[in-house]
Amino acid sequence: MRAIAALAVLSVSAFALPASGQSGSSLGMVEGSVCPDNSHAIFHACALEAARTATPPSTPEGRPDFSGYWLRRAWAFESLEAHPVTPDDFGGPSAVVDPVDGLVPMQDWAVEQSRINAEQYLHHNAACILAGPAGTMYMTSRFQFIQDATHLVMVGEQLTTHPYRIIPLDGRPHIGDIPMWNGDPRGRWEGDTLVVETRNQNAKYMLDQRGRFITDEARIVERFTLIEDDTIHYQATFDDPNVYTRPFTIAFAFRRNVPEIWEEACFETNADPMRLYRANGYRVYPGITGEQAREMKAAWEAAQ
Amino acid sequence: MMAGKHMMAAMAAAGSILYATGSHAHHSVAVGFDMERRVTVTGNIVDMEWINPHARMFFEVEGENGDTQTWIISFTSANNLFRRGWRSTHLPVGATITVSGFPARDGSNELYAGETRLADGTILFGGNAPGER
């Protein structure tokens, strides 16, 4: 027998369990780890110190072994800066560790452009679009890393339509010329740290849901350091003089030994709404080139 | 495969998103759903789609005037639901359940769950949770 409808508009949940955005950050100390990860800044400072004496597990080639399943411990995709818990945000501390005030060093015109971006465009993840090299690392919560002597392959499960990154480690040159969503990465070893430099990005994604952005001339350098057997100290430095007053760096932890990752086909649920968005003139953030950024900056300054 | 009327309902609900606010809707969920309000609905399961990144249930409730309303309940991803312990046996077609969630901004019969109370009183959380996204 069909149940009688019981429809009530409530100001609070009828049940006691947390709703989206109401539980706040669940970041915290992982048992047995040398560094807590409930604050990006505190984790970063601790990890820099821990790396001095770390003896990470090694590959047969004697390099730090990043193979395995990883969970990222970051809340940067809503905002790179500290942001409060709201019904629409999980909230979290700033991911920015340099500068130490935790603020993204944006040029004035870019602050205004970010606000416009957040109002005007759909976030790329609604369209299952890739998030760029660093964005992939903080947009995606679960990864499998596969490593051999010449490559590190990162396969992600969640968001941004099954992101994967293939990082050559054998010193080959950048591809060049072809702009790509996740760019053209090359890895090199600096001691026990894997340094990945990415060029040739199309920059057609926002850095966060506050509309922050880069141009296709941005240079992103990531650093992966095992500070203990199962913790990566991850850092990403964004350098784009078109948009920012200086380079800035975010940092957070990856923890190893989470369960396997599975298929998550982003298009399953999101493809139909996107057809309607587009049919009604809605657009996903299109990105801007360095040249466009300079023109927009000049126009903004002329209008002041 | 999604039945025709389900597809129509899903498309209609998605259409409501076009009139939603933008600047304060950071998550794609909030583009279509009012996360400041809660609605609770009791009815019978018609279909449950274990899909990503938002699992989806089709749900029939009886309106105040006796008409049958089809509701669409969206959840977090099928993967997240499974990892939390949700199983298809919890949600058989025809089962009576109560769902609490965020209503569609245009007032159409759609919710983003929230909590789901099964007939035996068990409560399953179906929304987004920190650490899973």
pLDDT tops 90 at residue A204: yes
Contact at CB, B10 and A272, closer than 8 angstroms: yes
Distance between CA A275 and CA A296 in Å, rounded? Answer: 30
Residue of B7, B23, B52, B70 for testing the chain A interface, max A β-carbons within 10 Å: B52
Residues A24-34 have a mean pLDDT of 59
The two tokens of residue B129 are 């949770």
Query: Which superfamily does CATH assign the domain made up of A58-267 to?
Result: Calycin beta-barrel core domain (2.40.128.20)
Task: Report the pLDDT averaged over residues A57-81.
Answer: 95
Residues A290, A295, A298, A299: what is their CA dihedral angle, to the nearest 10 degrees? -140
Integer-rounded Cα radius of gyration of chain B: 14
Q: Give yes or no for a cis peptide into A163 (omega within 30° of 0).
A: no
Predicted confidence at residue A132, as pLDDT, reads: 93
B17-74 confidence digits (pLDDT tens): 333 334 445 566 777 888 889 999 999 999 999 999 899 999 999 888 889 999 999 9
> First and final CA of chain B: distance in angstroms?
27
d(Cα A117, Cα A106) in Å, to the nearest integer?
A: 14
Tell me which residue of A106, A103, A98 sits closest to A212, measured CA to CA.
A106
What average pLDDT does the segment A190-200 reach? 96
Ranges of each domain in chain A: 58-267
Across the interface, whether the CB atoms of A3 and B61 are under 8 A apart is answered yes
Q: What tens digit of pLDDT does each residue of B87-118 get?
A: 999 999 999 999 999 999 888 999 998 899 99
- The CATH number of residue B110's host domain is 2.40.50.140
**What pLDDT is attached to residue A32?**
76
Asked if the Cβ–Cβ distance from B43 to A118 is below 8 Å, we say: no
Number of domains into which chain B is organized? 1
Chain A closest-CA separation from residue B88 CA (Å): 18
Phi, psi of B8 (to 5 degrees): -60, -45
| Average pLDDT of the segment spanning A266-276 | 78
Write down the mean pLDDT value for chain A.
87
Are residues A122 and B102, on separate chains, in Cβ contact within 8 Å? no
Q: How many whole angstroms separate alpha carbon A167 and alpha carbon A153?
A: 6
pLDDT of A297 above 50: yes
pLDDT for A190 equals 97
Tokens of A56: 């990470």
Residues 191-250 of A with CB under 8 A from B: 209-210
Residue B129 phi/psi, 5° resolution? Answer: -135, 145
Q: Is the dihedral of CA A100, A105, A111, A113 positive or negative?
A: negative
CA distance B107 to A204: 33
Chain position carrying tokens 């509309």: A211
Examine residue B133 and state whether it is found in any structural domain, yes or no.
no
Residue B131 lies in a domain: no
Q: Does A304 contact B at CB distance below 8 Å?
A: no
The two tokens of residue A138 are 């903080």
Which of B27, B51, B98 is closest, CB to CB, to A269? Answer: B51
Please tell me the predicted confidence (pLDDT) of residue A50. Answer: 97
Any CB–CB contact under 8 A between A52 and chain B?
no
Q: How far is B99 from chain A (nearest CA, A)?
A: 9
User: Per-residue pLDDT for B13 more than 50?
Assistant: no
* Mean pLDDT across A228-245: 97
Find the domain containing B58 and state its range: 4-21+30-125
Mutate to test the interface with B, among A20, A138, A141 (most CBs of B within 10 A): A20
